[in-house]
Amino acid sequence: MTRFDWESLIWETRGYLGIEGTDPVPVEELREQAKANGYDDREIRNALRDTDALESLGDDPDDLRVRLAEESGKRGKQAGKTPEDGDPPGSNPGGETDKPGSSNGLNQQDQPEDPPVLVKDTDPEESVGTWSDADFSDTESDTYLPALIESDQWMTRGEDLPPYERPKAPYAPWADTDGAKWGNKENRADFATAKEWADTDPRADGLAFIQLESDPFGFVDGDDVRDPETGDPHPAFIAILEHLGATYADVSTSGSGSHAYYYAPDGLPIEGKEQATFEIDTEPWGANDDPPTVEIYANKHVNITTGEHVRGTPLEVREWNTDALRAILEANGYTDKEPISHDTDKDRADLEEYDPTATGTDATTDEIRDVLHAVDRLEPRDLPLRTRQTGTDSTGWSTWNPSYRTSESGASVHSPPGEPVFHDHKEGESFGLLGLFAAEEGITSNPWDRLEGGEWWDVVAAARDAGAPIPEYVGGKTHDTDPVAVLPESVRDLSHATTGFDWRHTARQGPDTLTLDDARERTTDTIADAYQYGDRVLVEALPAIGKSYGAIKAAARTGEAVTMLTLRGRKEQYDQLREWCDEHGLAHYTLPSFTHDCDTANGEHGQEWADTVGEWYARGATPKEIHKNAEYELGRSLPCQEHEGQQCPYSSKWDFDPEEYDVLIGHYTHAYREDKVVSGRTVVFDEFPGAYETALGADLQGAVSYWLQTNDGVPYDDYTDLLENRGDETRRADALLWFEEHGVEPDELSVFDDPNAHAAAPLAVFTILASDDLGNGFERADIDGVGTGVRNREHGGVSILQPPALEYASGVVALDGTPTKELWELALGERLNHRAVLQDGERGEYLQEALNLNIVRTSEHVKPYNSKGHVHTESDAALLEEIEDAHGERPGVITSATAISEYKEADVLGLTDGSTYYGNVLGSNEFKEKRVGAVIGSNHYGDDFIQKWGAYAGETVERNGGKGAELSYGPFGDKVLTHMREHDTLQAVMRFGRDGNGAVVYTHTDTLPEWVPLAGEARVTNTRSDGERAVISALEDLGTATTEAIQEHPEVSLSRQQVFTHLERLRERGVLDREQDTEDGRRYVWKDDGLHRVNDHGEVELDPVELDELDDDEVRQVARSSIYTWEFTNREDLAAESPDDRGVTPTDPSGRPASEGDTPPDPAD
């Protein structure tokens, strides 16, 4: 190690600064003096950390000072010395859900002095920062974003400048003429020029930045989102920003708004959208007068910049999380734009030469083209629009003041001459006249929402009622032909499978039937064999078969020392594992977690401390390095070290002897601790571990640039230089030679030097340099001793797969209910022998006989539910309501997180008895004793996920362009697709009735594996329209009524023909009767004949098995089980028979044989 002459360096620093005596010197000045003497940054950093010749003084980390320790008569503290065991490179022990390399923290305290770096983001699972440190009540004036300062696109603004009384309109006072035209290049100036004019011209109130089409920036503009009196921001606004990531923000001139600036090279992630506006509350926030709104845009725009920088936000512009932004926009009604067309394109017939037979408001027609023809020729004057024409622009287009949003200019909607199509440039949307009227009438939320089905007919009827020349359509079916739900008869009578005991299921079981206890014992045997022979094995054990319990039981049986690594952590799985160990007399130890056991990281000493170490941890620093370097970086030890013994509780918990314990319990990431966790033990991975990836997305560019700037041996200046010149063979060879000499390993120390640094930066640099192009937008590189690096060329992100080192484990056992062997081998870096507890023919028997799962498929479509536009709340609600009617209880529901959000908005969750999403079901027992369930929609993580895992395997994966069942990604990619789709669906189905007492599960997706046996098929064929609901409500209110009386009911706003159509359909369904009116034989009177049986949301049929479909043996079994049946027990020929005569054990209402006691403890996992 380089020796430092600290006495000379201190003396020289004091001389340079004019400091006399033994007064301490600033550390930063000492650094500069050392550099002047020829030392580099790394040598200085390491020397300062390791020396005891210096004494640190002062508590302010921004003004840390030192002097020679001998000057105070004592030796200084050697920074960072802790008794903690070492962590291997890149390890992240203890975090249940966090891992080093995840990009979920930003140091927002120290701002970089260099110009900002634009960073990219690709991973929706990784957040780029936190807004918890942002203080919207405290701003730094005249602090503008450096990335914009470098631009020559600035103008001034002010209401006393032309065009006057428009304080946000830009103006160039330096221009000779037409200074208000911000589209003229000569009117835009550099920042210094515009700032000087803004400061000196009394008419100017501030600056405006002109965003051009070629600029890569995006803006989140919050109006009335900040309380101007307290400075408090609206929580929904902060929630949006949290999802998008930390970036520079300022406060508006009025103090009631705020602007966040992002890097958005691809614009808004909604096709056809350049900007979006929506309210985030219905009431004003704080002292504001109007409800808060958010406007998001990435197009040509005038951006008001105030320089009132929000403290705690970076002086950088960072790329927004596009996946999160898309979800936010979709949640607020924005979807990929379809081509703009006339309002008649919904049911477009050939109207070019069509001569209508009926025209005008009072006419009726049974020809649909008459209606379409009339709608096609509507003009604004035909409808009582609240959107008013305000003038004509220079191109001859009419300008309009929209009624559906505020418009300061009153002219932000434009329409071309002679064509009833409107263009909203603020929203970036186009729409027809009928769409505008639909929004004004409340039929749709926005005028650009697509009019379909009932909505189209509703707005046509409303337009005709308002006087539009549209004839009334009286022929055939109209909007009430939307899909209705029909569930065909089940193969089995499912009404009994939800009671906790099924007579037919029990009667079928014989001595050769596979029982749940049989399957669980076989699972234990399989795992015990793997322990005894030191095998590397992937055990396929279906859910509820007791694989976690079997792993503990097998440890007790074999005496093998085991490490159990799992996903669900302390809140659920750890406690269960500890209980099972106690049950079998096994000594166990729970491995420490940094975020749980370190009092600094868990917030015991305040959130500010937790955020500081959490930010280092998120950027790849291990707990060991954090404890070691904290004093050097912060000028004091961490609070968790400042007590007797000077040792953090987390560190002390690593001071144990693993040989004293039969079972170690921890998270997947503990496998990186080879010395104590892996070596000499059988390591058990319970379910597929997704914890061994490090992804650099938004933080990639800054992290790589900083690392390159601090490592001169790699001949690239920054990230851009690396990408643009990696094809230069000379420079590339020099860089790879450097890695060969120094190794490719994480650089944890850099994390403490700069907020842009990331420990995985050198791994990313090597990946970019050494990768091979797979030809599908992905690159791949083998990183010796680390794992595999993958780069997404389209988004620029780099992912590193770092399997744990398992070569010194005595055995490796992977447990999975629905395994994909190829993914397991990639994740663990081990070749695994696949062993299935159940053979092909036994799996179906296990579901039906051992678990008594009755699965009913209710859709023939894949139904991917990860996009808002694919979720069908009405048909789903109809299905859920009918399930409750059939079984007398509401079902538990598993679906996508997107669907749950949609259900919440549409009040569908009230039809469920609990719900959860696909990513939260592995190892969960939430629905263990639930007898009725529904799995709705399928899961899909996106093409990038499949291609990325293909790249890890060295496979070129491409999508075939198909959809639904026709979708394919090739041989390897289809295995990944099955892993995330079919396997997730089966895992969800098997969350219900895991106690072995049975359940009926309706699967509203056709993505079950082919081997899964079905108890029945069903379909949802129709949802109920608002008009039909209104007719039913009127009938329930009136009891008996004529068609006219129903039409005149306050809840009904339909034509007579529409009312009659609804009534006829209800009569055909057998819930309504009609007879001629005795007072007027020309009309009908309608009578309730079972309306209470009508599903509010649609038509669904869950028909039970009829008695004549059963054979004689089944009928006898029905009779014996009178507690669980009702209508079947009236057969006289069976009434006299006694259950005892049949040799059947009598049952009690609990569903257990009467001779038995309580059921034994359930060893299900």
What's residue 355's pLDDT? 77
> How confident is the model over 357-362, as a mean pLDDT?
80
Comparing CA positions, the residue from 162, 314, 168, 161 lying closest to residue 253 is 168
- Whether the pLDDT of residue 520 is over 70: the answer is yes
Fold of the 517-692+807-836 domain: Rossmann fold (3.40.50)
Q: Looking at per-residue confidence, does 927 or 362 come out higher? A: 927
Radius of gyration over every alpha carbon of the chain, rounded to an integer in angstroms:
35
CA 1164 – CA 547 distance, rounded (Å): 7
Q: How confident is the model at residue 31 (pLDDT cuts 50, 70, 90)?
A: confident
Q: What is the pLDDT of residue 496?
A: 42
Q: How confident is the model at residue 79 (pLDDT cuts 50, 70, 90)?
A: very low
**Distance of alpha carbon 213 from alpha carbon 220, whole angstroms:** 17
DSSP SS3 for 1127: helix
Burial class (CB in 10 A: 0-12, 13-18, 19+), 532: middle
Phi and psi angles of residue 114, each rounded to the nearest 5 degrees, phi first: -75, 160
Cα–Cα distance list, 213 to 218, 275, 660, 720, 796 (Å): 11, 13, 66, 22, 22
Q: How confident is the model at residue 1027 (pLDDT cuts 50, 70, 90)?
A: confident
Answer for the pair 1027, 1054: CB distance below 8 angstroms, yes or no: yes
Q: Which residue from 467, 314, 264, 330 is spatially nearest to 385, judged by alpha carbons?
A: 467
- Calpha distance 228→256 (Å, rounded): 5
801-824: average pLDDT? 93
User: What are 135-188's pLDDT values in tens digits?
Assistant: 999 899 999 999 899 888 999 988 777 765 556 678 888 887 667 776 677 888
Q: For position 494, what pLDDT does the model report?
A: 44
**Per-residue pLDDT tens for 860-898?**
888 888 888 788 888 888 889 888 888 889 999 999 988
- Residue with more model confidence, 498 or 980: 980
Domain covering 1026-1093 in this structure, CATH number: 1.10.10.10
Q: Mean pLDDT over all residues of the chain?
A: 79
Q: Looking up tokens 């400091």, which residue turns up?
A: 19
CA distance 29 to 1062: 85
Look at 128-132, 262-266, 350-354, 671-675 and tell me which has the smallest mean pLDDT. Answer: 350-354
Q: Closest by alpha carbon to 99, among 795, 691, 713, 900?
A: 691
Instruction: Give residue 1137's pLDDT.
Output: 33
What the block records as the tokens of 722 is: 């690396």
Q: Name the residue ranges covered by the structural domains of the chain.
A: 6-71, 135-331, 343-474, 517-692+807-836, 701-784, 850-1017, 1026-1093
What's this model's pTM, rounded to 2 decimal places?
0.54
Average pLDDT over residues 264-293: 85
- pLDDT grade for 120, boundaries at 50, 70 and 90: very low
- pLDDT (tens digit per residue) in 1122-1151: 222 222 222 233 233 333 332 322 333 233
Q: Which of 728, 734, 729 is nearest to 712 (CA)?
A: 734
| Average confidence (pLDDT) over 694-715 | 93
Distance CA 1100, CA 419 (A): 44
pLDDT for the residue 164: 58
DSSP state of 157: E
- Pick the closest to residue 950 from 788, 1161, 1145, 745 (CA basis): 788
User: Are the C-beta atoms of residues 292 and 228 closer than 8 Å to each other?
Assistant: no
Do the domains 850-1017 and 1026-1093 sit in the same CATH topology, yes or no? no
Helix and strand counts by DSSP (H, E) for the chain: 34, 43
481: pLDDT strictly greater than 50: no
Q: How many CB atoms lie within 10 A of CB 242?
A: 18
Selection from 607, 703, 41, 791 nearest residue 316 by Cα: 703
Q: Taking a C-beta distance cutoff of 8 angstroms, is the pair 667, 566 a contact?
A: yes
C-beta of residue 546 within 8 angstroms of C-beta of residue 1164 = yes
Q: CA-CA distance, 938 to 981, in Å (whole number)?
A: 6
pLDDT category at 394 given cuts 50, 70, 90 is: low
Question: pLDDT tens for residues 900-934?
Answer: 999 999 899 999 999 998 877 766 778 888 999 99
Cα(646)–Cα(495) distance, integer angstroms: 65
Q: Which amino acid is at 411?
A: A
**Does pLDDT of 1114 surpass 60?**
no
Does residue 402 have a pLDDT over 60? yes
CA distance 108 to 219: 20
Q: How does pLDDT run across 976-1011, given as a tens digit for each residue?
A: 999 989 999 999 998 898 877 789 999 999 899 988
Residue 1100: name the closest of 876, 871, 888, 903 by CA: 876
CA distances from 638 to 608, 613, 670, 927 (A): 12, 9, 23, 43
Q: The domain 850-1017: what is its CATH number? A: 3.40.50
Burial of 628 (0-12, 13-18, 19+ CB in 10 A): buried
Task: Describe the crossing of helices 453-465 and 368-376 by its angle, rounded to 10 degrees.
Answer: 70
Return the exposure string of 370-406: e unless at least 16 CB atoms fall within 10 Å of the residue's CB, then b. Answer: bbbbbbbbbebebbebebeeeeeeeeebbbbbbbbbe
